[in-house]
Amino acid sequence: MTHRMVWVNGAFGSGKTTLVGELSRRWPEALVYDPESTGYLLREIVPVTGGNFQHLPLWRRQVVSLTLGLFEEYGRPVLSAQTLVDAAYAREIFGALRTAGVDVLHVCLRVPPAELGRRIDGRSVAPGDPARDAEIRRWCREQNVAWTAAADELRAEGVHLDAGRPVAELADEVLALATGVATS
């Protein structure tokens, strides 16, 4: 049995979560796994230098382990949305999954920087705490600078799509790539 995973990558504000939500709606047998939740759990247990749990080798191993566990227990496709800025981390995670027999489709979303800035400025993740909201937006912008610098190397690891299109079009294209079946 071939295990399929779709990992949607891109800058903060590129529409990763929105796309995975649409994919999940159209591909109901797929499980949605958010690797960020694993990072948040680890943050509760161990110190995370610089606040970025992706630097923890344990996070990367646990993402692989939990993904493989989902396949083993449920035998269903897995969808994930997570910004991976470091191409070496992407290679580590995807390489371990592929070695274990997982067919990984790494989708990188492209959005012009001005649009990313507009999207980041337009959302609130800490309602009622303007200082925290501003800090999170600042951190997202910093990560987006790093993502843009690494984007070519990251895209070499996967498929890159223009996320300026309607999410329905993106979902059609990703599903066709993931399943080999055209949806429209």
pLDDT digits (tens, 9 = 90+) for 10-25: 888 889 999 999 999 9
Evaluate whether 11 touches 111 at the Cβ level (below 8 Å).
yes
Residue with the larger pLDDT of the pair 92 and 157: 92
Contacts of 50 by beta carbon, 8 Å cutoff, 6+ apart:
none
Burial category of 20 from C-beta neighbours within 10 Å (exposed 0-12, middle 13-18, buried 19 and up): buried
pLDDT surpasses 70 at 183: no
For the entire predicted model, the pTM comes to: 0.88
Report the share of the chain in percent with pLDDT over 70.
Answer: 97
- Residue at token pair 């992407």: 90
Task: Say how far apart CA 168 and CA 182 lie, in whole Å.
Answer: 13
* Domain 3-179 indexed as CATH 3.40.50.1980: no
* 101-156 per-position pLDDT tens digit: 999 999 999 888 888 888 888 887 788 888 888 888 888 888 777 777 777 777 67
Task: Locate the domains of the chain by residue range.
Answer: 3-179
